[in-house]
Chain A
Amino acid sequence: MRIGVVTFPGSLDDVDAARAVRLAGGEAVSLWHADDQLYGVDAIILPGGFSYGDYLRCGAIARFAPVMESVMAAAAAGAPVLGICNGFQVLCEAHLLPGALTRNQHLHFRARDQRLQVETNRTAWTMGYTPGQEIVIPLKSGEGRYVADTATLDELERSGRVVARYVDDNPNGSMRDIAAICNEAGNVVGMMPHPEHAVDPLTGPSTDGLTVFTSVLKHLAGVAA
């Protein structure tokens, strides 16, 4: 399976996302922001970083990169799309996911090994988890506070689209402790913490993040079968 990882100018965790795909058994394909095509990849990851410096709203410029038109078309056609951290911000800016990520409530950049509860496995990227499973993966962001209006939040809860929540201690003031959400079809997931940094016991706090990448491979295998 070929998983594309988009590099925008200012993307930082693209090499890490590609490594996680490889460790999960997939083939990582590097995609360039200025390309308008996806070279036939089966799924797409928008990685963490500071695309275009994030000097405007985070993700607000990346959302207009030529590659994003193809990403949006692929998402509409049901291809799995994962936005991690800055990638989540891009997905919100592109209206592939509702709500927005804003400055952490305490105003500091915060990096820590974060405990999460996976709420649903009915997405392409979390099907390998069991609902309610607790995992630890790194969080590292300055603008990770998920916000949306009450109606949107209620709708996300009602339709089971809250993918993961922070447990123990909300690290950034996210509404309803939301760490990750998905679209209605469950193929597009945005996640503030970084599963790609929890794939190797040597370099991560756990290997809990690897399941995100094996999940999508399993999902794609199921679709193909």
Chain B
Amino acid sequence: MSVELEPQGIEWDHLDTVARAAETPHQQQPYEELGLREDEYERIREVLGRRPTESELAMYSIMWSEHCSYKSSKVHLSKFQDLAPSSDRLLAGIGENAGVVKITDELAVTFKVESHNHPSFIEPYQGAATGVGGIVRDILAMGARPVAVMDPLRVGAADHPDTARVLTGVVAGIGGYGNALGLPNIGGEVVFDPCYQGNPLVNALCLGVLPVDRLQNKAATGPGNLVVLMGALTGRDGIGGVSVLASAGFDQEAATQRPSVQVGDPFMEKLLIEACLELYEAGLVVGVQDLGGAGLTCALSETAAAAGTGMEIALERVPLREPSMAPHEILASESQERMLLIVAPEHLEAVLAVAEKWGVPATAIGTVTDTGILRVTWHGHAVAELPPSSLADDGPVYARPIREPADLPLLQADRAETLPRPTTGEQLRETVLRLAASPNLCDRTWITEQFDRYVRGNTVAAMPENAGVIRLDERTRVGVALSVDGNSRYTRLDPYTGAQLALAEAYRNVAVSGAVPVAVTNCLNFGSPEDPHVMWQFAEAVRGLAEGCAQLGIPVTGGNVSFYNATGPVAINPTPIVGVLGVLEDVATRIPMGFSHPGDVIILVGETREELSGSEWAWVTHGHLGGSPPAVDLAAEQRLATLIRAARDLDLLRSAHDLSEGGLAQALVEACLRHGYGATVALPEDAPGGPFGFLFSESAGRALVSVPLGREKAFAAQCEEHQVPWTPLGVVAGADAPLTVTGQFEIDLAELRTAWSSTLPKLFDQLTARPE
């Protein structure tokens, strides 16, 4: 379908063409307002050999923005590739729209996590909705059918009035878009912390599956091939999204930036998915790229640059929602639900027929050329003429100054291990209940109930299980497990270790589900790169993550950097979110997290040290953040992972649950409440930190397992063989029996459930958020 519109109200005299730019070299240009520095502007003039046109200036300003060019992060991110362990599973890696991992000889998956933070503060519903839409198109562009989403979220203090606005809107937006797209939501995280009050984090992960031979790429090869824009009409929404919203500081004027937030149409996206998949299946496209941040400018320049070709684009052919749009607006629009296709001329008719079948507008807007120049015309007048690689690949790169925050030694000296702690059984009991009811540890049902987890019929595990598990093939039952994790308090105390702890936790979550971890994605949420302290945190976190992945032997396949997460001069706690993907040869062998059989033996595996700094206990009971985070031992994590799989293969495991925030106490609470069985446990007498330390320490590399009665010796032998310390704790009690810690306390399961499950409804049920 093509929409021909007569140009309306064009003031030809004001159209800034290439010819005019050459004639008027000294014309003042608003490069600073567009976020470009003077030296960057000078470089553009050098590249072009003249001043840029209005359209070109818009194109450079968005493509050279922090969000698109990774100009501050590039020098650090190279570590992911430099240190990448070799993997014969990786079909596409960093630099592609998303990493692609081979699962079997026939099947591959692609997965990636991205941020949509600033839009979600300004307009929580649409910001979060289009965050889902954007990552889904990245996955679609690789040739995959999107099959699941996850959502790591960070919002302000639970009891702050604005948190209700943000969280209810974000959750409704993720559900409103994801549910209508037919994608099961299989997990995620929500963390409340005042550091996110003025700058929440909305990260979205999408998983897709594709036949290995259907992998698509973005290169616009083959001069003479046609450039087809498919999807929603182009409007004025989202102009400057990447440059204004995502690449600069953020202040109280945020509400005025609402027009920079895109508006989502999940119905159109669903049609776009089906149309694209039908085109891939029929082999009708040469190259494909999604339109997201930086819109058409990004898609045109990246596809041409990837192939080393040029393009001739007739901008007036772009179907518009608002006919009065100027060329630079069309080039910069971030209207959602659009894809760019490179199509051989003989296939155009077939492509348009598929688009028509699904009711998706599609229009040929230009051709691939061998000139190496991206030439954009508007009713016959050239408004841009530039080398596409100068936009896509040759943006500025900065080695920003780095300085360790001056307050860090003091912060690290203020250890939580020295805080007053509960001593009596009654005090321990109160602490267990208080933590279980705390916003960061309580039941997430209020949120996950708003998401469809069943659609497409392949969800084997979803929240609150350790990891989401998706079946990829109904016949062989091969599947994948996915977990996303991150603890910004740990990262604030020590970014290197904190990033590795995030990696370790995601790895462990996948491993205790019974899967073999194979690949990593990440979303690195930090403050301003212009702040040397933030840049130090970033560099340390990237180093920690890259070295950690190298040690675990699992490559980073892609990811996203989000800078400028700050309120005024105050940055958020550094928040690297790490996603780990694992393979399950048979999803029926996944390990559930909850106790399910009275009499099963409860065993803690891994080593407990007295590690309370950065813990949930220190935060909830003392509002304390200080000291050093728990130690990381990635070799121990690997041994734990191997042990769990070996024990599973020998039928020694009924359940396994990873230990993280809240330590053993919280793991027991969750394992009991999952299916409503109590537990009777005794703490070891020589526990480091005493009963309290044993219950609330957040030492990494541990899991709580239940073993069928009579198999515990065989399990112990496996622990011995894999060199993992184990501590028998007790037994699973009957349905609705209490959680008893012998000699310390007993908690009735109903009381525990009430404490755990009533927090979020109490905080947020009074409020509802709907799209307007």
| Contact between B182 and A49, CB atoms less than 8 A apart | yes
User: Which residue of the partner chain, among A53, A106, A142, A204, contacts B454 with CB atoms under 8 Å?
Assistant: A204
A111/B452 contact (C-beta < 8 A), A9-B271, A203-B471 known: yes
- What residue in chain A is nearest B179 (Cβ atoms)? A109
Taking a contact as CB atoms under 8 Å apart, the answer to whether A15 and B768 are in contact is: no
Of B180, B182, B267, B587, the contact of A202 (CB 8 Å cutoff): B587
A55 to B359, CA, bound (A): 16
Contacts A53-B266, A109-B450, A202-B587 given; does A16 touch B456 at CB 8 Å: yes
Residue interface mask B732-772, A partner, CB < 8 A = 1? 00000000000000000000000000000000010010100
Nearest Cβ on chain B to A109's Cβ, whole angstroms: 5
User: What is the distance, in angstroms, from A60's C-beta to the closest C-beta of chain B?
Assistant: 14
* B residues less than 8 Å from A48 (CB atoms): 455
Within 8 A of B (CB), among A77-116: 106-112
Q: Complex Cα distance A48/B455, Å?
A: 9
> Does B449 contact A110, Cβ atoms closer than 8 Å?
yes
Q: Cβ of A111 and Cβ of B458 under 8 Å apart?
A: no
A185-225 residues at the B interface, CB under 8 angstroms: 194, 196-197, 200, 202-204
CA gap between A106 and B448 in the complex, in Å = 15
- Asked if A122 is an interface residue, CB under 8 A from chain B, the answer is no
B582 to chain A, nearest CB (A): 18
Which of chain A's residues have a CB closer than 8 A to the CB of B452?
109, 111, 140
A75 vs B181: C-alpha distance when bound (angstroms): 29
Give the interface size bracket for A toward B: 20 to 34
A residues near B, CB below 8 A? 9-10, 12-13, 15-16, 19, 48-50, 52-55, 106-112, 138, 140, 142, 194, 196-197, 200, 202-204
Please, how many residues of chain B have a CB less than 8 angstroms from a CB on the other chain?
36
A16 partner residues in chain B, CB cutoff 8 A: 454-457
CA A9 – CA B268 in complex, angstroms? 9
Q: Please state if A55 and B450 are interface contacts (CB–CB under 8 Å).
A: no
16 residue pairs from A and B, CB less than 8 Å apart: A9-B270, A12-B180, A49-B182, A50-B179, A52-B267, A53-B266, A54-B180, A106-B765, A107-B768, A109-B179, A111-B453, A140-B455, A200-B457, A202-B460, A202-B587, A202-B588
Residue B459 interfacial (CB < 8 Å): yes
Q: Which residue of B lies closest to A138 (CB)?
A: B454
Cβ–Cβ contact B450 & A203, under 8 A: no
| Contact A110-B454, Cβ < 8 Å, known A10-B270, A203-B460 | no
**B66: interface (CB < 8 Å):** no
Given A10-B270, A109-B175, A202-B587, A15 and B453 contact (CB-CB distance below 8 Å) = no
Chain B residues with CB under 8 Å of A107's CB are 768, 770
B454 touches A194 (CB 8 A): yes
User: B358–A15 contact, CB under 8 A?
Assistant: no
Q: A55 contacts which chain B residues (CB < 8 A)?
A: 267
Interface pair B180/A111, CB less than 8 Å apart: no
Contacting pair B359 A108 (CB below 8 A):
no
Measured CB to CB, the closest approach of chain B to A18, in angstroms, equals: 10
Query: Told that A108-B172, A109-B452, A202-B477 touch, could you supply 5 new A-B pairs with CB distance under 8 A?
Result: A48-B455, A50-B270, A52-B267, A110-B450, A111-B449
Chain A residues whose C-beta falls within 8 Å of the C-beta of B453 in the assembled complex: 111, 140
Mask for B469-490, Cβ within 8 A of A = 1, else 0? Answer: 0010010010000000000000
Across-interface contacts of B176 in A (CB, < 8 A): 109
- In the assembled complex, B451 has its CB within 8 A of some CB on chain A: yes
Chain B residues, Cβ within 8 Å of A108: 172, 449-450, 768
Measured in the bound complex, the distance between the Cα atoms of B452 and A53 in whole Å is 16
B138 close to A (CB within 8 Å): no
- B265 on interface, CB distance cutoff 8 Å: yes
- Give complex CA distance A1, B717 in Å: 54
